[in-house]
Amino acid sequence: MRQAAELLQDKKYYDAGHYDIAVVGAGHAGCEAALAGARLGCTVVLFTMSLDAVANLPCNPNIGGSAKGQLVREIAALGGEMPRIADKCGIQFRMLNRSKGPAVRAPRAQMDRRRYQIEMKHVLEKTPGLSLKQAEIVELLGYRAEGGRIVLDGVLSRTNAVYRTKRVILTTGTYLDSRIIIGETIYEGGPDNQFAAKGLADSMRDFGLPLQRFKTGTPVRVNGTSLDLSQMEVQEGDDEAWTFSYHYGADQAKEPRIEQMPCYITWTAEETHALVRVNLERSPLFSGVIEGVGPRYCPSFEDKVVKFPERSRHQLFIEPTGRDTEEMYVQGLSSSMPEEIQLQFLKTIPGLQNAKVQRTGYAIEYECLDPRCLQADLRVKELDGLFAAGQINGTSGYEEAAGQGILAGINAARSLHGQEHLILDRTQAYIGVLIDDLITEGTSEPYRMMSSRAEYRLLLRQDNADLRLSEIGHYVGLLSEVQYQAFTDRKSKLEAEIKRLKSAKLTPSPEANAFLLAKGSAAISNSTSLAEILKRPEIEYLDLREMDDAIETNDPMLAESVQNEIKYEGYIRMEERRIEKFRQMENRVLPETIAYKHISGLRLEARQKLDLIRPISVGQASRISGVSPADIAVLLVYLEGNKNHDIT
């Protein structure tokens, strides 16, 4: 461990300046963290190993998707940048799971990859107080203060530049000691053949940070002119003009979408699977070459063949990567098999028989943190001034990274301003679920956000993220007064329309009953509120236009929120009662000084887990694997018996 002031006494090093916050890594977590910090009045330096890799989308260039779309909407409500850039750079927009319940519907958009990077880089460059620099950070700098705690005071670059800083946010993605694996070919490298980050992981170990090794991968990219698209199923985008950001009343949300690009669907064949089986000994995944743990919910193709031998085919999505390129992404064919085997795969797949490969698929291994070393505000527990966000915390996905990034940036800034840190809990946001899962349970594989992880997902819908989080975005200072006023206007319109539907009556008439019968619904014999009519499963909000001229038709996002709030009112009330019980447990605070090893009645495993994670509440303690309900009962008795005493 070396201190910034100590290094600067050596002429080998030079003083590169002082900043409030240093953000190491300019992927999706780093961009959101740097923007949040700068917009909240801090001086921020954002480091990237290559300015051409800022906000890169090295895997599938899409934003959103199942559960991930909820994250993007939450980032929008808090005042983040990803949703705005995604709206500008999308080339196909689709609302997933339309036929299912509102809790699992999710917006997804295919991006113009290069335009997304250009737009985000330009925003960073124009933001006051933010300096974007191409430099590799190789060492954390700090010292041990009185009391034994370690305090960070800077970072060191590969070129011996010392950046003095009060806060550091690590957002290094998949670059730490990373290596690319393609069959028997193995070499140091990051995504898209960028350099691997060397040295920083060793520095993190010197500071006592716990690291683990994970793996992810990406499939081949092919030239679209070499494909036979007639053999594939066309997948068009939505006509409905929804957006990720709420635009807070701007006209853009009402404009019809134009120039969407189609995607395509094809399938692997039994011959494709046979190639995997014959060449399995050459798969780094099964030969033991790959040491890192891969993502369960985004497995390599060879892993799918082995784990699902009963499947004769697997679905593939052929998706464009931009308007000004013919490069297509083959989603579902992620592989670390040798290059020649990947080429053989393609020849067996309808529409891809003559495909020209532009980028070979690969696996990438990298170092990341055990996220149990973090607190709920994304501070590292044992180091003053250090935060972490994104894939360094064991997650996968651009959206999970951005959600962590904006929270880390907010809290780094608030800590400098002497303000209370922002913590989102499981009842408020998918971001809260994500972080709570990480810091409470840790993760033994790249963590992917899924709607099934959110026990209150009916309240954490993608259509109401602004209602849940815009107050917070304004409170912390990322939503302007103009944006906030527009939000309150939308909220007022929503509440007024719900109230109107509850009071407006549909009276029995031949026309009214003909309308209901045509929708497969029962006729009415008494005056019935439009809200009660809407609660019928077969009736949609926009269907009511036939009976009510005041139905909102110009704002699809508002219309969806009105429908969900009325149609699922009973279920929402039940979920709110469950949340009240949840909060009772969350409000039982556990003192930082509590000595679990001295609590008689706790099982040994519970003592060890509680001492390691140091939960902030009884609720969080109850979610730790290895802590049983009986242990929680013992803990509650102990707290009650010691409520008037210091707990040590």
pTM over 0.85: yes
Residues present in the chain in total:
648
* Percent over 70 (pLDDT), the chain: 96
The answer to whether 35 touches 409, Cβ cutoff 8 Å, is: yes
Residues 25 and 175: their CA atoms lie apart, in Å, by: 9
Domains and CATH numbers, the chain: 4-216+366-452 (3.50.50.60), 221-362 (2.40.30.260), 499-574 (1.10.10.1800), 588-641 (1.10.150.570)
pLDDT at 587: 87
Residue 598, judged by CB atoms within 10 A of its CB (0-12, 13-18, 19+), counts as exposed
Per-residue pLDDT tens over the stretch 503-532: 999 999 999 999 999 999 999 999 999 999
pLDDT band at 295; cut points 50, 70, 90 = low
Residues 474 and 203: their CA atoms lie apart, in Å, by: 37
**Cα torsion 330, 335, 339, 340: sign:** negative
Per-residue pLDDT tens over the stretch 449-465: 999 999 999 999 999 99
Q: What is the mean pLDDT of residues 613-634?
A: 90
The one-letter amino acid code at 567 reads: K
Helices (H), 279-428: 284-287, 301-307, 339-347, 398-416
Buried (b) or exposed (e) across 466-494, using 16+ Cβ within 10 A?
Answer: bbbbbbbbbebbbbeeebbebbeebbebb
Indicate if the pLDDT at residue 190 is higher than 60. Answer: yes
The answer to whether 116 touches 109, Cβ cutoff 8 Å, is: no
pLDDT band at 293; cut points 50, 70, 90 = low
User: Is 339 or 298 the better-scoring residue by pLDDT?
Assistant: 339
